[in-house]
Amino acid sequence: MDPRRIELNRRHSREMGVLFSTFLDAHPDVESEVDGAQLTAEEDAAWVAFSAQLLGRHQAERSALADVLEAELRGDDPRPGTRQRGRTADRPSLLAAEPRVRMLSGVTAPSPGTANPVPPNGPRASVILVIGGDGPAPLRPAWMLIGPALTALLGVYLLAVTFGPGGSAMRMALQLPDSAIPWSFVAYLLPALLATPLGFLLGRRWPTAVTLPAAVVLILGSLLTTLAAGSGSLLFGRALTGIAAGVAWGVTAVLVAQLRAQRAWAMPLVVGAAVLALGFGAVAGALLTRGLTWRTPFLLAVPLEVVAVLATAVTGIVVLTRRPSGPVQPPAAPLV
């Protein structure tokens, strides 16, 4: 192959990879982590419009190089304006036989040395790069909900354990004023509500990477609350727990939204489990406080929080192992 063809192909591949990375940054809803996830019709149309200018320039550059190489092969002067037009009908179109391809959201930047497929007549509605999968698939598998949902449910449980006798026993044991119980509730709920949008925004692209540290912080918050010796450490532990719970709530919500077909049963299941966790937290807080101490409900949550960390880590590892071992490139089109 002529070195000029190779260099042009490499440059086009790099430029298209950079452009698609820019497209992902501008469209955070497009999934790029899960193998087999496809662009929606709206995302497909957005990518076609986004890449139209670059695709047109690539087509023009490749066509111009094809003319130069053909002229050299015939012994003609390859300078612009000197091309003999008599034989153009005998030369096949540069990419006439190129297959119509699709670009899935899990596509990676093309590696140097591979051809960048460019349609001969400019962008088409179905022209995108291929990474894998040949049919519609949910943006997220349902099992990815296990870790985030368990973390979110534990956050709901920890919100409710201070209801009723649990909060009163906490105030008496730490010799706190009556206003301490409402403040401990606010110290939990306010950070949780502020962190929920953050978990929703970041979780749509990196659910495992966001949930895993949140679950670890939930453990730290529970331990700090359990070992609290005064109002300062108590409020700090509750605030940490609230931040972690809010992030988990946001990630769980966006994962449910990304399930598509499974959303019909996943949403009521998660909402129902949250209601049960709320009621169980209030009842468990009252019973365990009367039978043991107010610290017991928080301490019993720690083993389940460790399970949530492990579940999140395992699902993240599974997602990584299900990806292709290397960038899968679209079929290269010959450059003539």
By the 8 A CB rule, do 335 and 92 touch?
no
pLDDT at residue 135, as a whole number: 37
Q: 76-90, 131-145, 150-164, 206-220: lowest mean pLDDT where?
A: 76-90
Contact 132, 328 (CB under 8 A): yes
Q: Of residues 259 and 53, which shows the higher confidence score? A: 53
CATH 1.20.1250.20 residue window(s) in the chain? 142-322
Tokens of 259: 């399930």
Query: pLDDT for 209-265, tens place per residue?
Result: 999 999 999 999 999 988 888 878 888 988 999 999 999 999 999 888 887 667 788
CA angle 315, 318, 319 (to 5 degrees): 90
Can you list the alpha helix ranges (DSSP code H) found in 125-227? 146-160, 165-174, 180-203, 207-226
- What is the average per-residue pLDDT within 30-52? 72
Best CA proximity match to 82, nearest among 74, 92, 94: 74
- CA-nearest of 65, 69, 55 to 119 is 55
Per-residue pLDDT tens for 64-78? Answer: 888 888 888 877 655
- Residue 156, pLDDT score: 92
Query: Taking a C-beta distance cutoff of 8 angstroms, is the pair 55, 116 a contact?
Result: no
Class in CATH terms, 142-322: mainly alpha
